[in-house]
Amino acid sequence: MTTGTDIGPTQLELDGVRVSLRPMEAGDKDAILAFARSLPPHDLLFLQRDIRHDKVVSAWIEQTGPGGSISSLVAIDDKGRMRGCSALVRDRLSWTSHVADIRILVGVDSRSMGLGRLLALHCVDQALAEDVEKLTVQMTPDQEGALRMFEELGFSPEALLRDQVRDAEGATSDIVIMALSLARYSATRTAYSL
C-alpha cells in the first residue's frame, strides 16, 4: 500500500507560477496557519474543524503520514508561500472504512489555474492505491467552480444538508455532499485507456 508520503516532490508550472507539490510535514504548521487565515472564512465552512487555530493544525499534522488516518499534500510556490493543500481522510476503524473524504483548499489568487484539479486527482489516485471504494467531498452550494470540477471528475451529488454549518456571525449555510464510486471510475479509466 502506498501513502501520501510516498509522493516525491513534484515541480510544475501552473499559469506561469512555479509550484512544488509534496507531502505535508511538521514544519509546515506556520505556513498552513498563515494560508488558512488568508482565506475567506466562508471557504472553510465545509471542514470539520477550523484550521485557523494552532491546536487544530497540530492535530492534523499529527494524523498525517505513515499510520495516520490522513494523507495530506501541500502546494508551495517558489517564494515559499502555500498556494493550496489537500487531505484524504479515512477512518480505518469505523463502519465506513471503505469510504474516504477529500478536502481541498486553494488560495484565492491561485484559483482557475488547475491546482484544485491537480490536488483532487492526487487524492483520487491515493484512494485507489489504498483500495478505497467510495470517495466523498463536501462544499457549500455557492462554490460553483469546485462543484463543476468534481462533476467533471465523475462525482455525483448525494445529499444537501440544509443549514448544516454556522459561521462566526451566526449565518448558516447548506452543505452539498458529492460522491464517486472508485470501481466505476477505474472501469471508465480502463475502458478509455487513461
The answer on pLDDT for 2 being more than 80 is no
Record the cell numbers describing residue 68, joined without a space.
495516520
pLDDT digits (tens, 9 = 90+) for 109-136: 998 889 999 999 999 999 999 989 999 9
Percent of the chain residues past pLDDT 90, beyond the cut? 67
The answer on pLDDT for 8 being more than 80 is no
Are the CB atoms for 111 and 56 separated by under 8 Å? no
Instruction: Tell me phi and psi for residue 153, to 5 degrees.
Output: -80, -5
pLDDT at residue number 58: 92
Neighbour tally for 159: CB within 10 Å: 12
Mean pLDDT of 28-37: 95
pLDDT at residue number 1: 36
pLDDT at residue number 177: 97
Identify the sign of the CA torsion 142, 144, 145, 148.
positive
pLDDT digits (tens, 9 = 90+) for 12-21: 888 888 999 9
Cα–Cα distance for residue pair 190/72, rounded to 1 Å: 27
Residue 167: band (very low, low, confident or very high) from pLDDT cuts 50, 70, 90: confident
Are the CB atoms for 128 and 102 separated by under 8 Å? no
Q: What is the value of pTM for the model shown?
A: 0.88
The answer on pLDDT for 79 being more than 60 is yes
pLDDT at residue number 15: 83
Give 165-168's long-range contacts (Cβ < 8 A, gap of 24+): 165/45, 165/46, 165/140, 167/41, 167/42, 167/45, 168/41
Give 175's strand partners: 161
Cα–Cα distance for residue pair 115/131, rounded to 1 Å: 24
Q: In the chain, which residue ranges form alpha helices assigned H by DSSP?
A: 29-38, 54-63, 115-129, 144-152, 182-191
Q: What mean pLDDT, rounded, does the chain reach?
A: 89
Are the CB atoms for 93 and 128 separated by under 8 Å? no
The answer on pLDDT for 24 being more than 60 is yes
pLDDT at residue number 6: 54
Record the cell numbers describing residue 177, joined without a space.
455532499
| Domain over 4-191 is classified CATH 3.40.630.30 | yes
Question: What is the torsion angle, in degrees rounded to the nearest 10, for the CA atoms of residue 3, residue 126, residue 49 and residue 155?
Answer: -170
Instruction: Tell me phi and psi for residue 38, to 5 degrees.
Output: -85, -15
The answer on pLDDT for 29 being more than 70 is yes
Are the CB atoms for 81 and 20 separated by under 8 Å? no
**Cα Rg, the chain, nearest whole Å:** 16
Residue 184: band (very low, low, confident or very high) from pLDDT cuts 50, 70, 90: confident
For helices 115-129 and 182-191, what crossing angle results, to 10°?
100
